[in-house]
Structure 1
Amino acid sequence: MMETARIPIADVVFQPTEDIIDMEQRQALKAIREFLKGKTAYDVLPVSFRLLVLDTSLLVRKSLNILLQNGIVSAPLWNSKTSKFAGLLTSSDYINVIQYYYQNPDKMDRIDHFTLDGLRDIERAIGLQPVETVSVHPFKRLYDACLKMIASKGRRIPLIDYDEDNKREIVLSVLTQYRILKFVAQNCKETRMLRKPLKDLNIGIYSNVATATMSTPVIDVIHLLASKDVSSIPIVDSDGVLQNIYESIDVLTIVKGGIYNELELTVGEAIMRRSDEFEGVYTCTDQDRLDTIMDTIRRSRLHRLVVVDSNGKLKGLVTLGDILQYLLLGEDDNEAK
């Protein structure tokens, strides 16, 4: 059974004119951008946090156990030979490994000996361009850090400092889209002025949305995640009504025990093994507004919104990346840097 969290529609005391809404929307975006330019990436970090950094010599199998045991879905990588940051380990890396061994079943016996420093070789073997190792200094403007994240098409960006005394890099933390948007929602009151509905913002995807059903084998969904370069696949019934969503992080749960031997499970069977900490599927309509969405981000941990119609039929997807890009570049792509 799918758990959904519906974004509440704010009470309407009066109906402002379209011109006023447009004006306030532009004012809000300008204020949010000035806010981001006045803060550093470091300002987003909580007072207390934990950071796990994994050495690239670590076995892939062990890295997966570490992520699951600590309830995290990504970690910075460190090359101890060069004493340098070596990129981020994410669920996409495990999906790439699955793709590789699914294409080369004769090499499956080597999987327990595969280390993290070979992930880039896996990317090349399955025809992917190696992911750029993007990072930002913690005292860089938050606005610039967001632009760099958007340009890299990443969902998170590491903060890397440099120790002048020891002449080595220091991995300070990792900023996520969610953390940045929550920071904005908590500290920028102008988000309440973002009253234009989603349908007028031109954000998200509403055509050719990849979907699956409860009977679709997990391996087929993994192929979709990889080929579409997305982090989730909506699960619908024969009428197109949303039933659930399968996320790239769900793959970690499937492959944690004995690795890659349960990929023929159906999506329905896989979802039954999902962690109790799963918060459900956040839905909205194209009539919902960014002010209510930002308020939901302030109160709840969401990673995307599934757009449905009044009958629950899938219409599209809006990711946090879509929202962040709109806040920085929407309405006026010539916004001064």
Structure 2
Amino acid sequence: MATLSPSHSPKNLRRKGSTNRGYRARAGSHLPPHHSQESHDAALHTIRSFLKGHTSYDAFPVSFRLIVLDTRLNVKKALQCLLLNGVVSAPLWNSEKSAFAGMLTVLDIIHLIQYYYRTASYDYAATDVETFRLESLRELGVAQPPLLREHPSSTLYEAAKLLIQTHARRLPLLDNDSETGHEVIVSVLTQYRLLKFISINCHKEVQHLHLSLRKLKIGTYVSATSPSEVPEGRNRYHPIATASLNTPVFDVVHMFSERSISAVPIIDEDGVVVNLYETVDVITLVRLGAYQSLDLKISQALGQRSPDFPGVVICTASDSLGTLLQLIKKRRVHRLVVVEGEEEERNGGKKGRLLGIITLSDVLQYVIGEPGIGEGVEKEDSTAEASTLSPSQP
């Protein structure tokens, strides 16, 4: 696991095989000598002013690729394109109208998988997906892809506000061709890219964001502090969806679809986090038509995961926002699983037990200052990217 501070840091939980817990590697960070609310607030103010003075163009990398999918493309080819290029979403383009048509995300595929699993045979699904077009997804009841967009010259602050207000993980940036007047997809601004831009260009201010995640109420946390407080029939870790190594894959697919989330913590009988199952893991199972794999248990499915899976990033509630942003600068992180640490253990807790989840939406929402933090609801920005705890996701 990777860490957020010398004593309490995010960690990267690597797995060798399907169930073992692997090892933990620590990554130190530097904290300022004085931990005051005033310096923390001043740093936030400076970061917000910085975002208001820079445009989305400024956050573009020097070199990048843009993958755009025609709505007439069949689902299988679109999925292969996403996987081959290492991305989990892409803008859609209606070539007949020469117009932007929204975004295709992994959750769209999850909804499609759920539809086939419940209404058709495996053979029918494998055959139909060969010819089924992206434009037909809406016929199955899959929600219309958001037509959210922004101009590249808009400020990063306005772009961030739009991401937060619409619960999206990525914002398509569109301009108009000066000759034809048609829309042109320029790029896609993701939450990760925006937060990384902050961490790189506001290094001094990030170092002063030293207050703990617990104090700042960033993330979604379990509502019950002890098993005795859990209402009958409710998940001990409500409102966070969880699974065990014996949970069938499709049960987790249902969680993804119904709750619009892209990762579910895998816990043992004591609630200790042992792994994470992501939407990308499901896509990997079915990309060759192996729909029968949805009947596997999570432990079996994890055994088919790529050996270069980078691990699950965890932290404790005592870690600071600044060190979390420093981690984002170094690694491709999209969420962290919050677990009980030494502080909770001293108070009768169990080290490593699930405590909460922090998504990039949570972090961005706090940094920008939009309302909604600490409301006790799961705020999975489910377009996610996985959206996952895997640093490998774009």
- Fold shared, TM-score > 0.5 on shorter chain: yes
Q: Which amino acid aligns with 2:292?
A: N
Aligned to 2:298: 267
Distance change (3 Å), C-alpha of 1:309 and 1:57:
same
Aligned to 1:62: 77
1:318 is aligned, of 348, 352, 358, to: 358
Paired residues of 1:284 and 1:308 also in contact (CA < 8 A): yes
What's the CA shift for 1:173? Answer: 1.1
Q: Is 1:137 paired with 2:154? A: no
What's the CA shift for 1:188? Answer: 0.6
Q: Is 1:232 paired with 2:263? A: yes
Q: Which amino acid aligns with 1:318?
A: I
Q: Is 1:85 paired with 2:108? A: no
What SS does the corresponding residue of 2:102 show, helix, strand or coil? strand
What SS does the corresponding residue of 1:173 show, helix, strand or coil? strand
Aligned to 1:110: 128
Q: Which amino acid aligns with 1:222?
A: V
Paired residues of 2:31 and 2:208 also in contact (CA < 8 A): no
Alignment of 1:139-288 (within 5 A): 139-189=153-203, 190-207=205-222, 208=238, 209-288=240-319
Superposed CA RMSD? 2.1
TM-score norm. by structure 2 comes to 0.78
Aligned to 2:389: none
- Unaligned runs of at least 5 residues, structure 2: 1-14, 16-20, 223-237, 342-350, 374-394
What's the CA shift for 1:4? Answer: 6.8
What's the CA shift for 1:72? Answer: 1.4
Q: Write the distance in 2 (CA, Å) between the matches of 1:217 and 1:25.
A: 44
By percentage of residues, which structure has more helix?
1
Paired residues of 2:340 and 2:353 also in contact (CA < 8 A): yes
What SS does the corresponding residue of 1:76 show, helix, strand or coil? strand
- For these two proteins, the number of residue pairs brought into alignment is 325
Q: Write the distance in 1 (CA, Å) between the matches of 2:87 and 2:202.
A: 28
Moved more, 54-63 or 155-164: 155-164
What's the CA shift for 1:32? Answer: 0.7
Distance change (3 Å), C-alpha of 1:298 and 1:11:
closer
Q: Is 1:329 paired with 2:344? A: no
Q: Which amino acid aligns with 1:143?
A: Y
Distance change (3 Å), C-alpha of 1:160 and 1:7:
farther
Q: Write the distance in 2 (CA, Å) between the matches of 1:151 and 1:4.
A: 38
Moved more, 323-332 or 178-187: 323-332
- Name segments (4+ residues, structure 1) moved above 4 Å: 2-14, 330-333
Q: What's the % identity of the aligned pairs?
A: 43
Paired residues of 2:365 and 2:371 also in contact (CA < 8 A): no
Q: Is 1:43 paired with 2:74? A: no
Distance change (3 Å), C-alpha of 1:78 and 1:13:
closer
Q: Write the distance in 1 (CA, Å) between the matches of 2:118 and 2:220.
A: 30
Residues 87-117 of structure 1, C-alpha deviations (whole Å, 9 max, x = no match): 1111101001012112211663533221000
Q: Write the distance in 1 (CA, Å) between the matches of 2:195 and 2:22.
A: 23
Q: Is 1:119 paired with 2:150? A: no
Q: Write the distance in 1 (CA, Å) between the matches of 2:265 and 2:372.
A: 31
TM-score norm. by structure 1 comes to 0.91
Aligned to 2:41: 26
